[in-house]
């Protein structure tokens, strides 16, 4: 649906996005009537894990001089807030490797943004640092953990970090005062799909929110196959054989997960994020910007636009106009199930979550 009945144009890579029809509007609105309220901003492309579904073992990181400065990240946050963004998720790479992370969180907190969250692999979390983040305005922490077995942890992440280190970080976040921590689990067939009940048990026993995420075609090695996807229906069926689940109402229209509590316990919850078998594109309210300043209206976009010229132009409204143009170009859906779907050139690590 194109409510303004204007033509949609696929821009070539590295060219400016097509012009939005009306820069006088105050919001970030795409050509399909969706309004952006959620910014996913990557502050580094570096990660100390090399998860097999995310990046190649020998993949190189960008030169540090290619990344945006902290002032430029703050320009972006300021511009998007003026255009109606109310949520910021700080991503990477692994954001805790960003040397200016503490200062960035404090600076963003001073802007008065309502909802600031961060996703981390949990390789290290100091309680004093976590408490400072909370004081400075970081409201939520999400941890990535795809297995509860150390041998699989090593095989998936190609790191020596044990599972317990991540679980300890989760408890550190709780002790620091963060609300119920969330765990993201990417389910892959014949890799970790036999751990669904174990993760559900962890959620109930330790009062966690566990989100099972379908394996998406965002692996830098481009080995993704549909038959490697463990569907929401499959995972839910396995868990329901062990626990009675009670659906919970979505907290907002753009909720990406279907969420459940446990019938016999008030502790913990589980959810399913299912972009492959249950796409939620119609309610998508997200915009992603990579660590080097490439704007991606969709996680699966094959076209992205460089915001750096606008950031460095010195023109007061250049960034806002650019982001309005890039948002307008957001496609109706990711098209994973389409015959002509083309997997993005860059993996999740380079895109930001």
Residue 10 has pLDDT above 70, yes or no: no
Over residues 280-288, mean pLDDT? 84
Q: What is the pLDDT of residue 284?
A: 87
Over residues 14-37, mean pLDDT? 83
Q: What is the pLDDT of residue 346?
A: 66
For the whole model, what pTM was predicted?
A: 0.90
For the chain, how many structural domains are there in total? 1
- DSSP assignment, residue 13? T
Q: Tell me whether strands 209-214 and 265-273 are parallel, antiparallel or unpaired.
A: parallel
The answer to whether residues 191 and 214 touch, using CB atoms and an 8 Å cutoff, is no
Over residues 290-310, mean pLDDT? 88
Distance CA 224, CA 235 (A): 19
CATH number, position 296: 3.20.20.70
- DSSP assignment, residue 324? H
Give me the chain's average pLDDT, please: 88
Q: What is the pLDDT of residue 228?
A: 85
Largest CA distance in the chain: 60
Tell whether 265 is covered by a domain: yes
- DSSP assignment, residue 153? H
Tell whether 19 is covered by a domain: no
Residue 5 has pLDDT above 60, yes or no: no
Instruction: Give the per-residue SS3 of 203-232.
Output: HHHHCCEEEEEECCCCCCCCCCCHHHECCH
Which domain does 147 fall in, by range? 38-351
Token pair listed for 162:
């044990």
Burial class (CB in 10 A: 0-12, 13-18, 19+), 189: middle
Tell whether 251 is covered by a domain: yes
The answer to whether residues 202 and 210 touch, using CB atoms and an 8 Å cutoff, is yes
Residue 348 has pLDDT above 90, yes or no: no
**Neighbouring residues of 309: CB distance < 8 A, sequence distance ≥ 6:** none
Token pair listed for 164:
């317990």
Tell whether 21 is covered by a domain: no
Q: What is the pLDDT of residue 20?
A: 82
Q: Of how many residues is the chain composed?
A: 353
Tell whether 347 is covered by a domain: yes
Tell whether 62 is covered by a domain: yes
Distance CA 238, CA 218 (A): 26
Tell whether 26 is covered by a domain: no
Q: What is the pLDDT of residue 8?
A: 34
Q: Tell me whether strands 265-273 and 305-306 are parallel, antiparallel or unpaired.
A: unpaired
Tell whether 331 is covered by a domain: yes
Backbone angle region of 112, left / alpha / beta, with phi > 0 → left and psi within -120 to 50 → alpha: left
Q: What is the pLDDT of residue 109?
A: 96
Nearest 5°: phi and psi at 167?
Answer: -65, -35
């Amino acid at each position: 649906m194109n409510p303004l009945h204007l033509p949609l144009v696929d821009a070539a890579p590295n060219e400016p996005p097509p012009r939005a029809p009306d820069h006088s509007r105050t919001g970030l609105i795409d050509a399909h009537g969706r309004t952006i309220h959620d910014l996913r901003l990557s502050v580094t492309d570096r990660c100390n894990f090399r998860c097999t579904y995310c990046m190649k073992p020998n993949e190189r990181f960008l030169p540090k001089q290619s990344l945006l400065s902290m002032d430029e990240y703050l320009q972006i946050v300021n511009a998007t807030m003026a255009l109606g963004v109310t949520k910021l998720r700080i991503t990477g790479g692994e954001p805790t490797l960003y040397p200016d992370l503490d200062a960035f969180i404090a600076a963003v907190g001073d802007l008065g943004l309502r909802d600031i969250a961060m996703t981390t692999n949990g390789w290290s979390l100091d309680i004093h640092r976590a408490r400072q983040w909370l004081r400075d305005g970081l409201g939520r922490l999400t941890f990535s953990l795809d297995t509860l077995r150390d041998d699989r942890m090593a095989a998936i992440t190609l790191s020596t970090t044990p599972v317990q280190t991540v679980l300890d970080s989760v408890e550190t976040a709780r002790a620091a005062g963060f609300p119920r921590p969330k765990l993201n689990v990417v389910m892959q067939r014949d890799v970790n799909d036999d751990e669904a009940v174990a993760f559900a048990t962890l959620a109930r026993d330790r009062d966690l929110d566990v989100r099972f995420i379908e394996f998406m075609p965002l692996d830098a090695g481009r080995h993704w196959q549909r038959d490697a996807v463990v569907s929401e229906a499959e995972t839910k069926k396995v868990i329901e054989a062990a626990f009675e689940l009670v659906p919970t109402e979505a907290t907002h229209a753009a909720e990406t997960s279907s969420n459940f509590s446990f019938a016999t316990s008030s502790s913990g919850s589980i959810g399913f994020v299912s972009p492959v078998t249950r796409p939620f594109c119609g309610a998508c309210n997200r915009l992603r910007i990579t660590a080097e300043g490439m704007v991606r209206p969709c996680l699966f976009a094959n076209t992205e636009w460089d915001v750096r010229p606008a950031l460095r132009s010195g023109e007061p409204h250049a960034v806002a106009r650019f982001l309005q143009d890039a948002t307008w170009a957001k496609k109706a859906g990711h098209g994973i199930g389409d015959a002509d779907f083309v997997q993005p050139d860059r993996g999740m690590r380079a895109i930001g979550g």
